[in-house]
Amino acid sequence: MHIVQVLPPGGRPVSPPPTSRIVLGADVGGTHISCAAIDAATGEPMPGCRRDAPVDSGASAAAILDRWCGALAAARDACGGARLGGVGFAMPGPFDYPGGISLIRGLGKYESLYGRNIRAEVRERLALAADVPIQFANDAECFLLGECWRGALAGMPDAMGITLGTGFGSAFLRGGEVATTGDGVPPDGWLYNAPFRGATAEDHFSGRGLLALHNSNGGNRAESPREIAARAAGGDVRALEGFRQYGELLAEFLDPWSRAFRPLGIVIGGSVARS
């Protein structure tokens, strides 16, 4: 089996009308949004048309949406007025992806967006015509599709994708298509709520899980996963041990799922993975 680690998740372009020039892709994380304009003809990023912005996921709905749309508008405007054919969001779940409505609640992020029609909010803020599509897909699925399209697992038809960040994401690809049922696949392809050692997978493998693991080992407490990573990079023995324990627990959790699904490769991304 081929296992690789890459940088935080990205998305795949929305299929635009043939006359369009660019589509906008947005990756929404628990602490950031990353946007890029993609040439609709080639599938390549437009030079100089990527924008990243920090996001306070505990802020009001208006503040969050204004930040998201500000980054999208900046990426669009950097392309010099090229026609926009669509917008695609890689969004964390739970989310009503066809309807464009956030269902995130009780996860310590984006609580203020619960029940909001994100498609309508974005269309209004960006002043988009009714015929410009705005699509949403699970961020872990977008990450895995991208890595199997042009990334670390390019051309691999059967694969698992795991994202380690503010939350814990997962996706499964079978025969080149996203799988949400079948052997070794949890409902909807989501492992975040799977039970593990008296809690859920997200409790253990999100950023807060890494932080809790580190701080339970005694010594100087850390305030963020980034702080733990900085200590580990500096050779701090306790921080390095925390990452080792985190990796062993992740392997223990993934083992039965990977044995049941039998992927050809596993790709791991997200901000914690980068750390």
Please state the three-class secondary structure of 170-237 as a single string.
EEEEECCEECCCCCCCCHHHCCCCCEECCEEHHHHHCHHHHHHHHHCCCCCCCCCHHHHHHHHHCCCH
Is 155-274 the same fold as 17-132? yes
- What is the distance between the terminal CA atoms of the chain, rounded to a whole angstrom? 23
Bridge partners for 161 per DSSP: 171, 267
Helix axes 237-261, 207-215, angle to 10 degrees: 130
| Residues contacting 223, CB < 8 A, separation 6+ | 211
Give the residue carrying structure tokens 């779940």.
Answer: 93
Which of 200, 207, 147, 206 lies closest to 178 in space, CA to CA? 147
Q: Give yes or no for a contact between 25 and 13, defined as CB atoms under 8 angstroms apart.
A: yes
**Structural tokens at position 119:** 């498609």
> What per-residue confidence (pLDDT) applies to 113?
97
pLDDT band at 93 (very low <50, low <70, confident <90, very high): confident
Give the residue carrying structure tokens 């609640």.
Answer: 105
Residues 50-76, mean pLDDT to the nearest whole number: 96
> What per-residue confidence (pLDDT) applies to 35?
96
pLDDT > 80? residue 12: no
> What per-residue confidence (pLDDT) applies to 13?
36
> What per-residue confidence (pLDDT) applies to 4?
52
Identify the DSSP state of 249. Answer: H
pLDDT digits (tens, 9 = 90+) for 194-213: 999 999 999 999 989 999 99
Which of 84, 177, 99 lies closest to 135 in space, CA to CA? 99
pLDDT digits (tens, 9 = 90+) for 252-274: 999 999 999 999 999 999 888 87
Query: CA-to-CA distance for 67 and 58, rounded, in angstroms?
Result: 13
pLDDT digits (tens, 9 = 90+) for 130-180: 999 999 999 999 999 999 988 999 999 999 999 998 889 999 999 999 999
For 4, phi then psi, to 5°, come to -135, 160
Instruction: Please state the pTM of the whole predicted model.
Output: 0.82
pLDDT band at 3 (very low <50, low <70, confident <90, very high): low
| Cα 186 to Cα 141, 258, 261, distances in angstroms | 14, 11, 10
pLDDT digits (tens, 9 = 90+) for 94-112: 899 999 999 999 888 899 9
The CATH architecture one would assign to domain 155-274 is 2-Layer Sandwich (3.30)
Assess if CATH 3.40.190.10 describes domain 17-132: no
- Taking the CA atoms of residue 147, residue 199, residue 224 and residue 172 in that order, the dihedral angle to the nearest 10 degrees is 0
Q: Give yes or no for a contact between 262 and 184, defined as CB atoms under 8 angstroms apart.
A: yes
> What per-residue confidence (pLDDT) applies to 187?
93
pLDDT > 80? residue 75: yes
Domain ranges of the chain: 17-132, 155-274
